[in-house]
Structure 1
Amino acid sequence: MSVTPLAAHRSAPSVPAFRGRLGRDPRSGHWAVPRRYRLHVSTACPQGLRIAVTHSLLGVGDSCPLTLLPAVPDGPDGGHTALRPLYEAGAHHYPGPALAPVLGDDWSGRIVSNHAPDIMRDLDRYFGDGRAPLYPCGAAADIEAVERLCAQDVDEAAQRAGRAGDGPAERAAALRVLLDALGDLERRLAGQEYLTGDQLTAADVTVWASLVQLDTVHRHHLDAAAVHRIADHPALWAHARRLTAHPAFAAHLDLDGIARRHHARCRGLEAAGAAVQILDWAAHAGGAHGSRFS
């Protein structure tokens, strides 16, 4: 298993990233054995939300159990105390916060991975049994492109657009990046039901979690004009609304938890965008059991 500096978008460069993969490296011993591994996620975190939805879509609860962590990390360093034994077992004299999400190995008491895209791929490949795969053959390049777009040009750009420490020019530049990314996603949905074609994939899960975060967290730090420009992508937000009515998505949409996590960690600007909600997420999630996805 490799341990490398955590990616910059996790905002904790001193924390190791665990990048073990199931069934890939014989030296790791991470064979895909049912009930050997356990997921630890907080659905108030976008990465944890993506994994939880993926877990439900694949129906792999029996082979890889999922443990839900508090919305607001309970450790004094901003991590989860429940995950500290896993981190300390995997990194000698581990110095940083025990962050989620984590795929843990119950046999060894160690972390396999805390890299959400790898975790999602391994769930699909080794525990999904081929049922409606979220990484279908031939779609890998498109899915990876959407993942990069969301990480860099939606999630990070939205955070920069409302960051208190940046000046107006920097925030305006970040907003342009965000709007360009949303325009790209809007065009991808032109004439098709899902982002990569006629099948629900991990790309749709990734974008949905980014849009949840954009509307429930980031818009609070933007002005009303910016939020109206963000909302002016009708196909994209209609797609988010339709996915929210899917039981696998609705079951993990913890709006109260997202709000509590936001208020506990918030360092952004106070802006008028807070009053301009794009979607009524609770209402759409409340209709999940009557949707055509049931």
Structure 2
Amino acid sequence: MILIADSGSTKTDWRVLNATEVLEEVQTVGFNPMYQDTLEIYSELETSLLPKLKDKAPQQIYFYGAGCSSPERNNRVQEALKRAFPTADIHVDHDLLAAARALCGHKPGIACILGTGSNTCLYDGKVITDNVPSLGFLLGDEGSGAYLGKLLMKAYFYRELPDELAQSLKNKYNITKDVFLDELYGSPVPSRYIATFARFAFDKRKHPAVHAMIYENFAEFFERHVCKYPNYQEIPVNFVGSIAFHFSDTLKQVAKKYGAHIEKIIGSPSEGLIEYHQELLQQVGTPDKAE
């Protein structure tokens, strides 16, 4: 029995499974060791996860998380998981590897994450071979919900939105500049806060001004990330994440402009990860050899 966690900045999907079935599904808040320490992560695990798992004691845990991109950050998550599951064998990896495994399985391809944040990698069917770096919320995250939220809110406060669109946003949120900035800079995970405004963009996605922002968001993502891989027009480009899934029509338009072939767009990597790990379990027969 193994436990798989797919964690973004907003939410974490947990799945307990064996070689043939999913035994338990739980959702908690997201974890990001860039902003949270071991104690904060463990406290949430103790409150939100452990009571729901009850008597299930996984032998192995595979945690794929946003921000898990260095030994120091990974250790924060690993220590929290070790407190919660003292007898388990724990593996902590970047959510980019989760995306590659979920999207590509054992085949080569480009795997892209477009959710609250964004990232990409070139995957050879076994390991990540190249990664155009993601510079995070302040300097990057092109294509993401956070980046789209920034484009929208800048246009709103700079008075660049058409009047009817600005009035609609004002009616929905009734937010002032000072309140917005206080919420943004006071938030423990600012990208999560500003990404909430992507919901407005989705609701108004057929408005020409909003469609232009969505298109710009994805075009910047392709130019700064996908197009940097030398063979991006020759191998499948795959996407996972809420932004890719909900804005897939525009994403496909942008991909066509750049000559990229999209093979798969999914909202969450959970299903693909389940399939990936169950295949490994079926091959080896026991979870302790699954890697």
TM over 0.5: no
Greater per-residue strand proportion? 2
* Higher CA-based Rg: 2
Please give the TM-score of this superposition, normalised by the length of structure 2.
Answer: 0.32
